[in-house]
Amino acid sequence: MEMTGEIQPGWIEAFACDAEYLERSGEFDHNDLDAEGVAANVLGALPLIESPLAMRPHYSAAWEAQVLEKNLAAEAEFESETGFEVPDKLVRDSKKGCEMACALLTLVSKYGARREGTREQDAPIFVPLRNGNVIEVNIFTSGAHVTEHFHVVY
């Protein structure tokens, strides 16, 4: 899970991505430091869930175009890697609110791991998280397959 744009240098040093707090002791490699992908050791990411989630806390309508752009990229990667077609309306509406973005993320969780040979999705689904919204995740396992169901709690 990645948080975007809200972390500032000096804010919880262990979580910050500012170079001032990075020690080049070999603990992080180039892939960790380039802010690409969703590996659990990417700086600024929390290894809490398996689905490719990026949150936009304190969301405002001014971010809709950016969220849509990011979710279209995630959709393209998902469809390319899995062959599963995502409904265009679901992606279009994911910029407007947490509910639709959670539905999109649940779909990616459900079908993303089903096809063997697909790699981990790099482009995360951006979830617009308005003040007062809480996301609940229900995790279901079947053997090695994990499915996460995301929904909003008010």
Pair (61, 38) in one structural domain: no
Entry pTM:
0.69
Pair (126, 60) in one structural domain: yes
Distance CA 82, CA 129 (A): 27
Q: Residue 107 above 80 pLDDT?
A: yes
Q: What is the mean pLDDT of residues 17-32?
A: 55
Return the pLDDT at 63. Answer: 84
CB 27 within 8 A of CB 49: no
Pair (8, 81) in one structural domain: no
Residues of the chain above pLDDT 90, percent: 23
- Write out the two tokens for 72: 């279209």
Pair (108, 39) in one structural domain: no
Phi and psi (nearest 5°) for 91? -70, -45
Pair (149, 77) in one structural domain: yes
Pair (5, 63) in one structural domain: no
Q: Residue 149 above 90 pLDDT?
A: yes
Q: Who wins on pLDDT, 89 or 37?
A: 89
Distance CA 154, CA 150 (A): 13
Pair (65, 133) in one structural domain: yes
Helix (H) or strand (E) segment spanning residue 55: strand 53-57
Q: Residue 40 above 50 pLDDT?
A: no
Where b means 16+ CB within 10 Å and e means fewer, 97-127 reads bbbbbbbbbbbbbbbbbeeeebeebebbbbb
Return the pLDDT at 87. Answer: 93
Distance CA 4, CA 77 (A): 20
Pair (67, 132) in one structural domain: yes
- Secondary structure class of 53 (helix, strand, coil): strand
Return the pLDDT at 118. Answer: 44
Pair (105, 73) in one structural domain: yes
Pair (74, 150) in one structural domain: yes
Pair (91, 140) in one structural domain: yes
Q: Who wins on pLDDT, 131 or 20?
A: 131
Return the pLDDT at 62. Answer: 85
Total domains in the chain come to 2
Give residue for tokens 């979710």. 71
Look up the domain containing 40 and give its range. 1-48
Q: Who wins on pLDDT, 44 or 96?
A: 96
Residue 28's pLDDT band (boundaries 50, 70, 90)?
low
Residue 111's pLDDT band (boundaries 50, 70, 90)?
confident
Pair (106, 30) in one structural domain: no
